[in-house]
Amino acid sequence: MKRKLLMNRRQAILTGLTSAGALLLSGCLKKAPPTYGNILRMGDDLTYIAQRGLLSQRALAMEYQKSEITSFPVTDIGDPADPASKKAYSKTYQQLQRNNFKDFALVVEGCVAAPRKYSMDELKKLGARTQITRHTCEEGWSAIAEWTGVPLSAVLKDAGILKTARYVGLYGFDNYAESIDMLDAFHPQTILAHTMNGEEIPARNGAPLRLRVETQLGYKNVKFLQRIVVTDKFTDPAPDITSGWSWYTGI
C-alpha cells in the first residue's frame, strides 16, 4: 500500500508537470523567460512552469493580525538623508526627498495606450488595498508589516494596458530593477505601497512608493519606485544586478 501511494504521488507530480508543459505550449502561460543557456536559469524555468501549472494563480499569501506586526529591519542601503549612504541614491531622489516627495511622479510607459506620469494624489485616486503580510527575505530579513497602496492592476488598467503586454518592468531610483509577469502584476495582493504600518513609508524602507508582490521573495519588491515599463517580450531589466538571482521566486 505504501509503495502504491508513493507511485501515485510520483504519477501526480509527473502528470502535473506534463499538464504545466501543455499549458505552456498551448499559450495559456505563453512563453517562459529565456534561460540564456544557463543551467540554473533552466531550473528556474522548470520551477516557473510547474508552479504556474500546478498552483492556483489567485491564491492569496497569508495575511496576519495587527498584533503580529514585527519590527521591520533597516535595509543595508540605509537612509539617503544619512551622508554615509547618499552615494547609493541618485541626485534626483535626493532632491525629491528634500521636498518631502511633493514633486514625485511615477512614469508608466511601454505597451500601454496612454503613457503618462502619475502624481501620488492621482495614484491614490485609483483605489487602495491594505494587507498585513510577511516580507520573506532570502537573507534572513523577514518581518511582518502592514502595507497600504494602489493595486498595480488598477494602474495598468488606467494606462490602457495593451493585449500584447506580457511583462512589467519596475525600476527604482537606486538603480535596482525587477520584472514580473502578468499573473503577478494582476494578482490582488500586488500593490504599489505608499503607507507602512499606518504611516508614509520611511526612506529606509523605500519611500515614497515601493512594489509589494506578496507571491515572491523579498528582493522582487522594488523600493524607491520611479518607473514602470510594460513590455511584449521578456527583458532582464537589470542584468548586472540581478543575474545572480532567480528571476522567478514564487512562494
One domain for residues 108 and 43: no
**Residues 138, 217: contact at Cβ < 8 Å?**
yes
Q: In which residue are the cell numbers 502592514 written?
A: 146
Q: Cis ω on the peptide bond leading into residue 208 (within 30° of 0)?
A: yes
Q: Which of 12 and 75 is assigned the larger pLDDT?
A: 75
Tell me the pLDDT band of 235, cut-offs 50, 70 and 90. confident
* Final residue before a domain boundary, out of 36, 60, 84: 60
Q: In 99-251, where does DSSP find H-type helix?
A: 120-124, 152-159, 182-185, 239-242
Which cell goes with 140? 534572513
- Tell me, rounded to whole angstroms, the distance of Cα 79 from its chain centroid: 22
State the Cα–Cα distance between residues 162 and 131, nearest whole angstrom: 28
One domain for residues 206 and 101: yes
One domain for residues 73 and 118: yes
One domain for residues 74 and 160: yes
**Residues 202, 73: contact at Cβ < 8 Å?**
no
One domain for residues 42 and 136: no
Dihedral in degrees, nearest 10, Cα atoms 213, 138, 227, 91: 140
Half-sphere exposure of 204 (CA within 13 A, CB side): 10
What average pLDDT does the chain have?
A: 81
pTM, 2 dp: 0.81
Q: Quote the pLDDT of residue 58.
A: 72
Q: Quote the pLDDT of residue 155.
A: 98
What is the pLDDT averaged over residues 123-149? 92
Tell me the pLDDT band of 32, cut-offs 50, 70 and 90. low
Q: Which one-letter DSSP state was computed for residue 141?
A: -
What is the pLDDT averaged over residues 42-60? 75
One domain for residues 35 and 16: yes
Question: What total number of domains does the chain contain?
Answer: 2
Least confident of 136-140, 145-149, 219-223: 136-140
